[in-house]
Amino acid sequence: MMMHSRSTQEGEASIFRVPCHCVFAALLVVLNGGTSVSDDFANEGASGAKRVGNATIYSVPADEELSADFQVTVDGHDVPVYRAKVAPADAEKRWKAMDDKRNSADYFDTAAFASFDWHDAVTVTVSAQEEVLSAMILPTSAGITPNVLGKTVTFPVTAPANLTIEINGETVRSLHLFVNPVEKNVPDPNDPNVIFFGPGIHKLSHLIVHDNQTLYVAGGAIIRAVVSPDEPFTVNATTGLRNYAPTIELRGNNIRLSGRGIIDASACMTHARNLVLVDGSDITVSGVILRDASTWNMPIRRSDRVRVHDVKIIGYRANSDGVDVCNSRNVTIEDCFIRTLDDLVVVKTDRGQGVANRVLVQRCVLWNQVAHALSVGAEIREDISDILFTDCDVIHDRGREWTLRIFHSDAAKVSDVRFEDIRIEESRKLASLWIGKSMWSDDSQYGRIENVIFKGIHAAGTPLTIELVCQDEEHNIENVLFQDVLLNREHLRRPHIDASEFVENLIVKP
C-alpha cells in the first residue's frame, strides 16, 4: 500500500495513489491566502520544506487558516503560525466543556502554534498585535530570557524544545513553539511499505497500518479526519453520541508513524473517533502534531514496546485525553507537548486485557486544563506496577482535579509508582492517592495502593493540597515517601498532607 506525490509546479495539486478506505483531497500551495509566509517555498514543489540557515521550515496548505495573533520568524525567515482551539479561560465554561458532552465543541478559546526543525543556534522573533509590555517563555527550566521591543519578543534557541510564549500576562491565548530536532530516517515514498502523505490537505476517514509498515505525514501536510456517510457506528447510551472506528489504527508489529505534519479532527463530531489507536508491538509514533481530537487522542491498548516521541497534542473537547496507556507494557512517552481538556498522560487497565507495567513518561511539557496532568486510573481492573513519571514540566494546571494522581475506582492493585523530578509552575490541587468509588467504577470491591514515591517535586501555586484517601485496613495505601518536595520553595511538612487513618508508613523527608 502506498501513497506518494509526484513533483508539482506552483499551484498544481499533488497526485496520490490511495487505498479504497481512504478518502481525501490534496492541495499544495506556497502561500496561505490570509497570512504571508514569504517566498521561501516558491520552488519547493511537493517537498514542502525549506532549509534556511540553521532551521527547516515547512509550507502551508491552501485551505488552512493561519493565526492573526502572532507572526514568527527564525533568523528572519517566516514560520507559519497555526490556530488551535483550547479550553476557555473561564473556569465554569471549562467545566461545561467537560460535562456538557453533546455541546462540548461550543466552549473554547483560540491559541496558536508554530513549528520548525532546529539544526543549530537560531534567533526567534515573535510579533504581536499590540505593544509588548511583558513576555514569559515557559517552561522556566528552558532558561530563556526574551528581549522585548515594541510589538516584538526576540530570544535565542540553542536546542530543540517545546516552548510556550505568553505576552502581557495572557496565558490561555498563548503561542506554542515546537522546535523540533532534525528529522532522521525520512522514508522513501516509493517504498511499497510506506504510506506517504505529502504536503497539502488530505481528508481521511479510516486507515489501518499493518505489520512492517510506515505511515508518514510530511511537513506541510494536514490529515483532516472526517466521517464518511456510510460508516458503521455505535451510539453511546449515556451521551447519545455516535462512535466510529479510529481515524488511524497502528495495528500489528513493527509499525512506525512519523513526520512533521498535522493530524486534525476538527471536522468530526464530538466523541466520533480517536485520532490514533496503537494496538500491537514494536510501534513508534514521533514528530506529528495532533489537533482538536473529538475524544481520546492516542489510546495505547494491549501493546508491548511502544515509543511515543516528540508528539505535540492540543485539544479542547470533552474526553480529549492526550495519551492513554491501557493494559500495555514497556511503553515510553518522551519529549512531548500536551495541552488538552481531559487527562494528559494516564495509565489504565480494563478487565481481562492484561496488566500494565514498565511505563516511562519523561521530559514532557504539560498544560492541564481540567483533569489530571500525570495519573493512574480511574479504571484499574487489572494490576498496574512499575510506573515512572520523571523530568517533566507542568507549565499550568487550572483543573478541578489533581496534577499528580493515582485515582483508584476499582479492585486491582497499584504498586511501585514514582513521580520524580517534576517542575510545576502552577497548580492548586497538587497530589492525590485515592481509593473509592466513582462514576468510572466497575468492580464492587475496593483496591490497594502501595510503594509510591514523590521525589524532587517543586511546585508553585495555591493552596497546593495533598490528599491520601483509603477505605479500610484491607483496602489501604501503604509505603508512601515524600522527599525533596517544595511547595512555593518551602519544604513539605507532614501536617500539610490530609491522610486517612488507614494509610500505613507515610514518610516525609526534606
Residue 72 reports pLDDT greater than 90 = yes
Asked if 123 contacts 74 with a C-beta cutoff of 8 angstroms, the reply is yes
Residues 339-396: tens digit of each pLDDT: 999 999 999 999 999 999 999 999 999 999 999 999 999 999 999 999 999 999 999 9
Residues 109-153: tens digit of each pLDDT: 999 999 999 999 999 999 999 999 999 999 999 999 999 999 999
Residue 352 belongs to domain spanning? 256-509
- One domain, residues 68 and 170: yes
Q: Name 5's Cβ contacts closer than 8 Å, sequence gap at least 6.
A: 14, 15, 16, 26, 28, 46, 189, 196, 198, 199, 200
Computed over every residue of the chain, the mean pLDDT equals 91
Does 53 map to a domain?
no
In one-letter notation, the amino acid at residue 225 is A
Residues 319-344: tens digit of each pLDDT: 999 999 999 999 999 999 999 999 99
- One domain, residues 477 and 333: yes
Identify the CATH number of the domain in which residue 325 sits. Answer: 2.160.20.10
Does 151 map to a domain?
yes
Does 329 map to a domain?
yes
Bridge-based pairing state of the strands 337-340 and 312-314: parallel
CA distances from 252 to 303, 305, 306, 373, 446 (A): 9, 12, 12, 29, 35
- One domain, residues 355 and 443: yes
Identify the CATH number of the domain in which residue 114 sits. Answer: 2.60.350.10
Q: How many domains does the chain divide into? A: 2
Residues 189-237: tens digit of each pLDDT: 999 999 999 999 999 999 999 999 999 999 999 999 999 999 999 999 8
Answer with the one of 161, 180, 199 that is the final residue of a domain. Answer: 180
- Binning pLDDT at 50, 70 and 90, where does residue 238 land? confident
Convert 423-453 into a string of H (helix), E (strand) and C (coil): EEEEEEEEEEEEECCCCCCCCCCCCEEEEEE
- One domain, residues 462 and 356: yes
> What does residue 505 show for φ and ψ, rounded to 5 degrees?
60, 60
How many other C-beta atoms can be found within 10 angstroms of the C-beta atom of residue 90? 12
Q: What is the pTM of this model?
A: 0.91
- One domain, residues 142 and 283: no
Q: Name 333's Cβ contacts closer than 8 Å, sequence gap at least 6.
A: 308, 323, 325, 345, 359, 360, 361, 362, 364
Distance CA 267, CA 340 (A): 18
- One domain, residues 160 and 308: no
Q: What does the pLDDT read at residue 294?
A: 95
Instruction: Give the cell for residue 367.
Output: 498544560
